[in-house]
Amino acid sequence: DTGVSQNPRHKITKRGQNVTFRCDPISEHNRLYWYRQTLGQGPEFLTYFQNEAQLEKSRLLSDRFSAERPKGSFSTLEIQRTEQGDSAMYLCASSLVAGERTRRADTQYFGPGTRLTVL
């Protein structure tokens, strides 16, 4: 399967614990996006990378959240001191664009998501 993969698919944790999710994009894609989706809502943008550089972060990304893409391939999203309000589906998407800040919108391919439940 050459699509976007995410691990784990499901994560249940207790409030206050740290969790880390992984996203493996389509291999030749240089952009990687993280979104959060709660029940009955559309995805909300969190952050995105162009290669290893984190180019934008949403105000939704509090200081408890950190994302990395150290080698420009896979990415991790860590949530520290989880809260019940962090319970959501975390989606990753990847795309291939030319140029660092292209003005043309790119086609994003989504992974299956990681569903986080904070008890």
Partner 1 sequence: KNQVEQSPQSLIILEGKNCTLQCNYTVSPFSNLRWYKQDTGRGPVSLTIMTFSENTKSNGRYTATLDADTKQSSLHITASQLSDSASYICVVSTYGGSQGNLIFGKGTKLSVKP
Q: Which stretch binds partner 1 (CB under 8 A): 14-22, 43-51, 69-77, 79-87?
A: 43-51
Among 2, 14, 28, 40, contact with partner 1 (rule: CB under 8 A): 40
Q: Which two tokens stand for residue 50?
A: 């162009």
Pick the closer one to partner 1 by CB: 27 or 107. Answer: 107
Residue 98 binds partner 1 (CB under 8 A): no
Q: Is 99 in the site for partner 1 (CB under 8 A)?
A: no
Place of tokens 């959240």: 65
State whether residue 86 is helix, strand or coil: helix
- CA distance linking residue 113 with residue 77, whole number of Å: 12
| Nearest distance from C-beta of residue 105 to partner 1, angstroms | 3
Q: Please report whether residue 91 would count as binding partner 1 according to CB under 8 A.
A: yes
Our finding on whether 116 is near partner 1 (CB under 8 A) is no
Q: Which of 7, 24, 44, 80 binds partner 1 (CB under 8 A)?
A: 44
Nearer to partner 1, 15 or 53 (CB): 53
By CB neighbour count within 10 A (0-12 exposed, 13-18 middle, 19+ buried), where does 26 fall?
Answer: middle
* Cβ neighbour number for residue 1 with a 10 Å cutoff: 4
Spatial CB neighbours of 42, under 8 Å, sequence gap ≥ 6: none
Among 13, 20, 26, 110, interactor with partner 1 by CB under 8 A: 110
